[in-house]
Homo-oligomer: A and B are copies of this chain.
């Protein structure tokens, strides 16, 4: 029996994507070869990479100024690559610190040039999105983490600024429409809303590049991958293919506007269940709550293990909160079906009735 998978990442993928991916591992579209054993220069993979690059442009209305890349190494590699490629030694990188991932991005950037943390929510264990800060007008970029998986917060709107933003969107890419023109770089590890672990989507404004003087290893230079269409070396063929399947699924389901509506309905159901049950509490104020990761704790610490057991008994998986927050985290990415949301909400209500 299939579990209800609330894992924070690697995370649930659409059921049809998994079926198609498994089939390609056996035989890709009837060519007599597995997807895993074809050359990355073959016409079959070239077509895959081309469509996987074209679909994000279509779905997010990405302007001609920007390129779409698939890179290795996860968002953790983008933390330093963004700074290595964009931040001059006499430049300035402005950062908003909204959680562990922002903090890591800040740490890695400091090795390359001056960094200013313009706002932070660390004072309250990252339970909110900072407001009312000044962004230095001479900054090369403003770095934001659009959704904070661990703490369950999300920028409902991006900061008003004319500085290009660099955004880690690992956990909410393709969950809502975006004005891509406002971003210098958008990067997203695939394993939450897009595909399996092993590739990172990067959307980059070409004009951001070529402005730092340091030597950059070929593989770490965005320009290399723009020039070679994400195939300078052998790209991670299977992870990219599964991203393509998910992108097709998003397109087939009406694109990111429709996905956003469905995400909002799912999140509303979960947060309503938290708010109406006095046994549970969401530490995040309503306006900053993530549509992707609903974090909640039990008011009574004894209830924590009891609720976890009840979840397990109801085939609910991956719901335990991150160790730095505790409690629970329902990760409800694009691919999460309403049926699983309904099961979770029923389990929560039932638990509250029994123990309330």
Chain A: residues with CB nearer than 8 A to chain B? 1-3, 5, 7-13, 18-19, 21-23, 25-26, 31-34, 36-40, 42, 72-77, 79-80, 84, 104, 107-108, 111, 189, 191, 195-199, 215, 217-220, 232-239, 242, 315, 317-318
Q: Are A215 and B22 in contact (CB under 8 A)?
A: no
Task: Give CA–CA (A31, B315) in the complex, Å.
Answer: 11
Least CB distance, A103 to chain B, in whole angstroms? 12
* CB closest residue in chain B, given A22: B25
Residues of B close to A107: CB separation below 8 A: 218
Interface of A is mostly: loop
* CB closest residue in chain B, given A196: B36
Residues of B close to A74: CB separation below 8 A: 72, 219, 233-234
Contact for A232 among B10, B26, B33, B76, CB less than 8 A:
B76
Contact for A5 among B13, B37, B80, CB less than 8 A:
B37
* CB closest residue in chain B, given A12: B37
Contact for A18 among B11, B36, B38, CB less than 8 A:
B36
Residues of B close to A77: CB separation below 8 A: 72-73, 219
Residues of B close to A76: CB separation below 8 A: 218-219, 232-233
* CB closest residue in chain B, given A77: B219
7 of the cross-chain contacts (CB-CB < 8 Å) are A10-B39, A12-B37, A21-B25, A77-B219, A80-B220, A197-B235, A239-B239
Contact for A219 among B12, B80, B191, B195, CB less than 8 A:
B80
